[in-house]
């Protein structure tokens, strides 16, 4: 790991230690293997909070943060340390089958974490008297309950006897405090998100060129994902939506296996992850290469909401005010087009909010409803948000003229809040209807 990355994760651990205070201990478990079927596992993916604090990508590991210090024996000497990483023991046979292990001996040099031990030492600490002197334990409860392998063996007796081992101790899930920290991105993180966004944007140009009637949704999905991986994206940021026609009106459409018809739109909500950081993009394309009159009316209303909301983003502005602005523009647009009698009914057709924070997670990292004790609504420099208005008309909406039914449009960009305004991190991806038509028709002529 390079110096800059080590310093980033160290700064996160130090900040978290300050937040939790000297009478607390934090134990944050990394992920373990997850079974897919019989003896096949899913590809290993580190827990994001654990990654945020360590950058360590091996399974079966845990980080302990002790702001008040804890005594450890290292090289036969007693030291007081504030952080210990517990890792898998080195094992030549297992490493031949499953990949190299860092080993506790190399943690300090490779990861810059103060101290390291093998996992069985964590078991002794947790199941002995180690916790008794602390008044609070911060732990990733939701994730701990899903652990497998050797970490499950360690945490099961611990969880079962917690009220005997340390009955006085307050137990706090780490996700809220860490989630709040994660809302303000550092320069290091912004560069990772930008890289993810750039890979995704480039892929959309390839996908756009390939859209044509009689292809299948999965043809387009495969082009995007080929491109992400080819250019170093290490994962998809989320399961993609590649939705032709009315499929776009299913918010979590995930089949991506339907035939694409000439007069339909294709809504693509897909993006790459890069070094654990996500981007999140949606564009909507006419499958024929040209919008119908009705598609264009809806498209332009959504585009207006997208652009006007982005223009308003700067520190101090409320995210809810941006949401309200988006709703107003969508409602006004539909009202003027004669598609909405009462503007209050806009939610029936716009369905979702205007956006969310992104970062290590696509929906990053604290549920909005849980952010009650601080003013999260007010945007701050270092926030990265999506702006993604949409309108959706199913065939069931008999109050809407037939030619508008089956239309679903969403346009989504990733926006960095800066000191004085904002930067559209996905701004290199065209979104004006005429630009899209030009790009798609030009490519069709070359065919």
Binding residues vs ligand GLY (CB under 6 A):
238, 269, 280, 362, 388, 412
Task: Please identify, using beta-carbon distances, which residue of 289 and 390 lies nearer to ligand GLY.
Answer: 390
Task: Please identify, using beta-carbon distances, which residue of 125 and 238 lies nearer to ligand GLY.
Answer: 238
d(CA 23, CA 180): 21
Residue 273 engages Mn ion in binding (rule: CB under 5 A): no
Q: What minimum distance in Å lies between the beta carbon of 279 and Mn ion?
A: 9
Task: Please identify, using beta-carbon distances, which residue of 166 and 417 lies nearer to ligand GLY.
Answer: 417
**Chain length of the chain:** 447
d(CA 139, CA 122): 14
Give the one entry of Mn ion, ligand GLY, none that residue 256 binds, where binding means its C-beta sits below a cut-off of 5 to 8 angstroms depending on kind.
none
Q: Which residues on neighbouring strands pair with residue 266, listed in sequence order?
A: 244, 285
Among 269, 273, 361, 364, binds Mn ion (CB under 5 A): 269
Task: Please identify, using beta-carbon distances, which residue of 273 and 412 lies nearer to ligand GLY.
Answer: 412
CB atoms within 10 A of CB 201: 22
Residues 107 and 139: beta-carbon distance below 8 Å: no
Task: Please identify, using beta-carbon distances, which residue of 195 and 269 lies nearer to ligand GLY.
Answer: 269
Q: What minimum distance in Å lies between the beta carbon of 271 and ligand GLY?
A: 7
Give the one entry of Mn ion, ligand GLY, none that residue 426 binds, where binding means its C-beta sits below a cut-off of 5 to 8 angstroms depending on kind.
none
d(CA 272, CA 11): 26
Q: What minimum distance in Å lies between the beta carbon of 305 and ligand GLY?
A: 15
d(CA 296, CA 334): 12
CA-based max dimension of the chain: 80
The region of 87-95, 158-166, 313-321, 386-394 touching Mn ion under the rule CB under 5 A is 386-394
Q: Alpha helices of 313-381 — where are they, by DSSP H? A: 319-336, 347-350
Task: Please identify, using beta-carbon distances, which residue of 150 and 269 lies nearer to Mn ion.
Answer: 269
Give the one entry of Mn ion, ligand GLY, none that residue 24 binds, where binding means its C-beta sits below a cut-off of 5 to 8 angstroms depending on kind.
none
Residue 280 engages Mn ion in binding (rule: CB under 5 A): yes
In Å, what is the CA distance from 201 to each residue of 28, 272, 290, 389, 394? Answer: 34, 9, 21, 19, 29
Residue 386 engages Mn ion in binding (rule: CB under 5 A): yes
Q: Residue 190 has which token pair?
A: 């912004």
Q: Which residues contact 424 (CB under 8 A, 6 or more apart)?
A: 310, 413, 414, 415
Do strands 235-236 and 272-274 pair parallel, antiparallel, or not at all (unpaired)?
Answer: antiparallel
Q: What minimum distance in Å lies between the beta carbon of 282 and Mn ion?
A: 5
Give the one entry of Mn ion, ligand GLY, none that residue 217 binds, where binding means its C-beta sits below a cut-off of 5 to 8 angstroms depending on kind.
none
Q: What minimum distance in Å lies between the beta carbon of 66 and ligand GLY?
A: 37
Q: What is the DSSP string of 160-204?
A: HTHHHH-TT-EEEETHHHHHHHHTS--HHHHHHHHHHHHHHHHHH
Residue 413 engages Mn ion in binding (rule: CB under 5 A): no
Residue 189 engages Mn ion in binding (rule: CB under 5 A): no
Q: What minimum distance in Å lies between the beta carbon of 362 and Mn ion?
A: 6
Residues near Mn ion (CB under 5 A) are 269, 280, 282, 386, 412
């Amino acid at each position: 790991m390079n110096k800059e990355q080590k310093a980033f994760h160290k700064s996160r651990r130090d900040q978290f230690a300050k937040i939790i205070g000297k009478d607390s201990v934090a134990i944050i478990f990394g992920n373990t293997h997850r079974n897919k079927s019989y003896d096949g596992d899913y590809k290993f993916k580190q827990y994001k909070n654990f990654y945020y604090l360590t950058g360590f990508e091996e399974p079966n590991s845990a980080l302990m943060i002790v702001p008040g210090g804890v005594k450890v024996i290292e090289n036969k000497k007693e030291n007081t340390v504030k952080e210990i990483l517990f890792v898998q023991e080195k094992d030549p046979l297992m490493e031949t089958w499953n990949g190299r292990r860092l080993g506790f001996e190399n943690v300090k040099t490779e990861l810059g974490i103060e101290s390291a031990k093998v996992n069985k030492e964590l078991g002794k600490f947790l199941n002995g008297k180690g916790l008794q002197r602390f008044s609070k334990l911060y732990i990733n409860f939701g994730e701990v309950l899903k652990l497998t392998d050797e970490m499950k063996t360690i945490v099961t007796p611990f969880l079962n006897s917690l009220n005997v081992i340390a009955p006085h101790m307050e137990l706090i899930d780490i996700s809220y405090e860490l989630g709040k920290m994660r809302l303000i991105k550092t320069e290091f993180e912004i560069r990772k998100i930008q890289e993810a966004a750039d890979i995704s944007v480039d892929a959309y140009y390839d996908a756009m060129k390939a859209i044509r009637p009689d292809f299948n949704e999965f043809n387009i999905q495969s082009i995007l994902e080929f491109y992400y991986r080819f250019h170093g994206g290490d994962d998809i940021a989320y399961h993609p939506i590649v939705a032709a026609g009315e499929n776009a009106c299913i918010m979590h459409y995930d089949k991506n296996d339907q035939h694409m018809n000439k007069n339909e739109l294709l809504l693509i909500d897909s993006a790459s992850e890069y070094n654990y950081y996500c981007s999140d993009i949606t564009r909507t394309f006419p499958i024929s290469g040209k919008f119908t009159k009705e598609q264009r009316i809806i498209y332009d209303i959504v585009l207006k909401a997208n652009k006007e909301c982005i223009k308003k983003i700067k520190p101090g502005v409320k995210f809810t005010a941006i949401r309200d602005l988006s709703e107003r523009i969508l409602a006004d647009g539909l009202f003027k087009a004669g598609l909405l009698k009462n503007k209050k009914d806009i939610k029936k057709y716009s369905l979702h909010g205007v956006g969310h924070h992104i970062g290590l997670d696509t929906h990053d990292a604290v549920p909005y409803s849980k952010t009650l004790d601080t003013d999260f609504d007010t945007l701050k420099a270092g926030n990265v948000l999506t702006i993604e208005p949409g309108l959706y008309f199913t065939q069931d909406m008999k109050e809407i003229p037939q030619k508008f039914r089956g239309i679903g449009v969403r346009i989504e960009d990733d926006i960095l809040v800066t000191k004085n305004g904002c930067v559209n991190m996905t701004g290199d991806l065209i979104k004006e209807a005429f630009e899209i038509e030009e790009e798609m028709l030009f490519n069709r002529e070359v065919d």
